[in-house]
Amino acid sequence: MTVKNVRMDIKELDTQLAKFKGLRVAIGRVIEEDLEEALGPTPFPSITDLREWDRKLLKRYPPFYLPFCDVCCLCTFGKCDLSQGKRGACGLDMAAQQSRIVLLAACIGAATHNGHARHLVHHLIEKFGGNAPLNVGGDEVDIDAPVSTLVTGIRPKTLRDLEGILDYTEEQVTHLLSCCHTGMEGNNIDFESKVLHAGMIDQVGMEIADLAQISAYNFPRADPEAPLTEIGWGVCDTSKPVILVIGHNVPPAAGIIDYLLENQLYGQVEVAGICCTAIDMTRYNPGAKIIGPISWQLRFIRSGIPDVIVVDEQCIRTNLIEDAQKIGAPFIAASEKNCQGLEDRTNDPADEIVDDLVEGRVPGVLILDPEKVGEVTSRVAVEIAPKRRRKGIFPSMEEIVEGSKRCQRCLACQRACPNNLPIPEAVQMAAEGDLSKFASLYQDCVGCARCESACPIDLPLHSYIMKTAEGKMAEEKFKIRTGRGAVQDIEIRRVGGPIVLGEIPGVVALVGCANYPHGGEEVAEIAEEFAKRNFIVTATGCAAMSMAMVKDEEGLTLYEKYPGSFDAGGVLNIGSCVSNPHIAGAAIKIARIFAKRNLRANYEEIADYIHNRVGAVGVAWGAMSQKAASIASGFWRLGIPVIVGPHGIKYRRMLLGRREREEDWYVYDARTGDKIYVGPVPEHLFYAAETKEEAMVLIAKLAMRANDTTKGRAIKLTHWIDLHRRLYGTMPEDIDLYVRRKADIPITMRDEILKILEEKGWQEREIPDPTLLKRMLRTRAD
């Protein structure tokens, strides 16, 4: 634990040396010594303490900037034209400006998660007391907070301890954000270093949020067999009142479930959720239901099924209240970060609020007390459901045909669609009475409704798509495993060796939002491909949901077919967005448990270990948000590569290695101090793939690490080459860079690969004990 801001005021002190009057002693932070493990070199690192590590990474993976526009418009000097080498009035050039925007995004993400954590911890301390113990896995987990311990050096034990860590992360976010001000940082690589710092701080914030809620709310504790629950548009029993909760911060949803349970209403009222709140509701009580990822908001509300809509924070469509009013569903905002212009009724009697909502005197209310949200929402749902009678706003099929006849053929809908869906074609066919094209768009629609906003005659095109697919949507019922939370220490003991040696070919983390280029089925396809190949497949958030929404011929989802354990071939729902650090934490714990490295405040050494040894790859196929940007940044600083889908290119900066630039791929051999060429492993740190096929081949490739044994490398090469041949139709052109010794060559491909190697003049090379850090050498040779 840590003690912060200790102050002593002494009126008068008389000693042998001197006499003091009005003495004040202030100590910034006291870190309690841990007898098991020494404190490392960077406790509570400042925004520059890990700069040298960042620069190592950024030298190997220099940024490639892809500006969204030519100008900067952040101050009144602007707009400044930064195109083709010009500088703005403040002196900034385009590279620095792009990195500054990336830092802004990462700060927004980090602030959001840390704010989320702060609210949650504050609420849980109020509810359960500051001394409530942290417990993410009982006896199965000794290292409760690997990320926080790695970064700060302390091991939090109670909810109160988390507050001390949040004091630090909030300070860091403030400093980082200040660097985006005009006339602060000017060098793009320094901006990028701060992006990595923001990512690390984000990981700490997320970890705190999940530690707190797992511990206080009794979520599954590192449970590989966390219960299965239901997901899909069709999971609600519409004969009952339906409460829909949207967002990320679970206390209001927990308040609803508690009220229903306490009043014997649970089971008589459906509690369903969208986005990460949904995942966390089912961790709280697996009887709750998940409708789907972020893109399911409008389609489900417009169906008229929800009787009451509750929103907390993050990734909520900001004008949902309009659709709520159209279906006659009261709207309850439950977060001070998302007040929606509603009157704050927190301190009003529940009876009055319920009455106003049920009688329709107000469209919605703001209630900043999760327990009161629980009572009001539950009572309103029960009272209003019989009156509303599921009033939806989907048009009838006839209305779609008639509306389509009014289309002006301006193409504005398609030009507004992120996925360029052929909506005009669907409208034209609908005008002739054929609705099949509209129905076919359903799978690829990301639910943004920009088509509707763009339409000059206000055709409700999103509703057209959803109405024509209503039959299919109603059949959507799948099984998803509830979020298990952390990875057990015993699981790490079992797989740590095989991962580091390369015999388990990798850990794939499917995370992020639902801005998919071709629907969520691609995520399920990627997950299953790698589960079959004995990778460990972990998932969080919307990706974890999308993976569940596909059945095989036998009607089973991935979560029913594959075990939930952190082991080869496992498919794990780790939890919500804030559960992501359990994935980073698993990599960190491998270094601690398998390699006996110290964690406490030892970030650089552990990141170096992970980068060179742990074949983990993040995939955010539908990454959309600033939070996704900061989550990725947290993985980058640990040296873990992240692949995003094609829309991820809009993060406007990639971190790319250059495989042919040999000088970039040397490491120290910790045994000898020699510098050894290890090949481009992993080749990239941040990469946007054009197609799922490209992503799948790259996942296998990026799982290679400098430390792979020959057996491990042979396994990894087998997967990469096999996928390349199947999906590209050719052998990879750069095999020679990844084969270090003949023993690396997969036995079934030996002759073919040897021929390629011979043509390229390949020679065997050493396999070092790799490190990028000179201080890790065990010899005086260097």
The residue from 180, 265, 350, 727 that contacts other proteins (CB under 8 A) is 727
- Burial string for 364-374 (b: 16+ CB within 10 Å, else e) reads bbbbbbbbbbb
Q: Which helix (H) or strand (E) holds 571?
A: strand 571-575
What's the min distance (Å) between Cβ of 69 and other proteins? 5
- Asked if 83 interacts with other proteins (CB under 8 A), we say yes
- Asked if 664 interacts with other proteins (CB under 8 A), we say no
* Complex with other proteins: residue 58 or 254, whichever CB lies closer: 58
- Asked if 693 interacts with other proteins (CB under 8 A), we say yes
From CA 480, how far away is CA 38, in angstroms rounded? Answer: 41
The residue from 412, 500, 531, 704 that contacts other proteins (CB under 8 A) is 412
Beta bridge partners of 481: 228
Residue 416's contacts (CB-CB under 8 Å, 6 or more residues apart) are 450, 451, 453, 454
- Asked if 89 interacts with other proteins (CB under 8 A), we say no
Backbone angles phi, psi at 455, to 5 degrees: -65, 120
Q: Which of residues 147-186 bind other proteins (CB under 8 A)?
A: none
- Asked if 425 interacts with other proteins (CB under 8 A), we say no
On whether the CB atoms of residues 71 and 80 are closer than 8 A, the answer is yes
Torsion on CA atoms 474, 479, 483, 486, rounded to nearest 10: -150
Near other proteins by CB under 8 A, which window of 535-543, 550-558, 650-658, 764-772? 650-658
Site string for other proteins, 444-483 (x = CB under 8 A): ----------x-----------------------------
Q: How many residues interact with other proteins (rule CB under 8 A)?
A: 46
What's the min distance (Å) between Cβ of 647 and other proteins? 7
* Complex with other proteins: residue 243 or 688, whichever CB lies closer: 688
From CA 214, how far away is CA 166, in angstroms rounded? Answer: 17
The residue from 237, 336, 733, 758 that contacts other proteins (CB under 8 A) is 733
- Asked if 654 interacts with other proteins (CB under 8 A), we say yes
Beta bridge partners of 480: 229
The DSSP secondary-structure symbol of 219 reads -
Near other proteins by CB under 8 A, which window of 61-69, 261-269, 313-321, 750-758? 61-69
What's the min distance (Å) between Cβ of 230 and other proteins? 34
Q: Which helix (H) or strand (E) holds 719?
A: helix 710-728
Relative to beta strand 80-81, strand 71-72 is: antiparallel
What's the min distance (Å) between Cβ of 416 and other proteins? 6
Measured CA to CA in angstroms, residue 608 lies from 504, 613, 661, 680 at distances of: 20, 8, 21, 15
Near other proteins by CB under 8 A, which window of 79-87, 190-198, 387-395, 743-751? 79-87
The residue from 29, 34, 37, 67 that contacts other proteins (CB under 8 A) is 67
Looking at the chain, the number of H-run helices and the number of E-run strands are 28, 23
The residue from 29, 650, 711, 760 that contacts other proteins (CB under 8 A) is 650
Q: Smallest Cα–Cα separation from 328: which of 396, 374, 379, 393?
A: 393
- Find out whether the peptide bond into 79 is cis, omega within 30 degrees of 0: yes
* Complex with other proteins: residue 328 or 646, whichever CB lies closer: 646
On whether the CB atoms of residues 324 and 303 are closer than 8 A, the answer is no
- Asked if 415 interacts with other proteins (CB under 8 A), we say yes
- Asked if 84 interacts with other proteins (CB under 8 A), we say yes
The residue from 299, 652, 713, 716 that contacts other proteins (CB under 8 A) is 652
- Asked if 75 interacts with other proteins (CB under 8 A), we say no
Site string for other proteins, 565-604 (x = CB under 8 A): ----------------------------------------
* Complex with other proteins: residue 84 or 239, whichever CB lies closer: 84
Residue 667's contacts (CB-CB under 8 Å, 6 or more residues apart) are 612, 675, 676, 678, 706, 768, 770, 771, 772
What's the min distance (Å) between Cβ of 352 and other proteins? 44
The residue from 1, 49, 65, 490 that contacts other proteins (CB under 8 A) is 65
On whether the CB atoms of residues 109 and 627 are closer than 8 A, the answer is yes
Report the interface residues with other proteins, using CB under 8 A. Answer: 64-71, 81-85, 94-95, 410-412, 415-416, 418, 420, 454, 517, 646-647, 649-650, 652, 654, 656, 658, 687-691, 693-694, 697-698, 727-730, 733
